[in-house]
A and B are shown apart, each in its own frame.
Chain A
């Protein structure tokens, strides 16, 4: 099942409480105590987000595909996301801070 960009954007804003970066409508920022800022970009070029593009989004969110789908399907929430990213970020943050 593919999602529309507006559906993903809505999930980021309402469920994860992500904010737009500097009034930019494509980059969103997630912050929680003790975690590096997590940023993701939502492309508005398409009607539906294909599998390759979707994989880029959930990698930016530091989660795996099943968890991303659960966020989209409303079986996971912000607290679950924070716990997931704290305990098992994927890809791990250490990659960025070598």
Chain B
């Protein structure tokens, strides 16, 4: 009477078709490492936006395209936007809007407590050139 081979555990039955000692490579764990890339529709604004205003901290902007081919540039912090037929035009319009927004909030901050708080936040991103905050950062 020949001995019968009975798996010790039920799970072993699926490995009986492989040669003894064969180890299946765990391919699901091998993934190529890709360098981090920002999405194509996101950019950061930094530097001069007018003769006397400077963006001193990276301000994340989103670029979107409308169905008619025009572009919208906007931020999700101050909710300012600009639009134009090209990305360049939309970016220029955004900068003009941001400068106007800064001027409006700056003036209103003198009398409105809510705008005072908003202006403090705005100044963490935008300052007048030559202001104390900019000089402190440079030194």
Contacts and interface: CB of A to CB of B under 8 A. Distances in A.
A36 B115 contact: yes
Interface string A38-61: 010101011010111100100110
Interface residues on B, range: 20 to 34
Contacts of B100: 24, 26-27
B104 A21 contact: yes
B121 A53 contact: no
Contacts, number: 67
A43 B73 CA distance: 12
Given A50-B70, A53-B72, A37 B108 contact: yes
B66 A50 contact: yes
B83 A37 contact: no
Given A37-B112, A96-B118, A43 B83 contact: yes
Contact of A56 (B67, B68, B72, B114): B72
Contacts of B74: 56
Interface of A: 21-22, 24, 26-27, 36-37, 39, 41, 43, 45-46, 48, 50-53, 56, 59-60, 91, 95-98
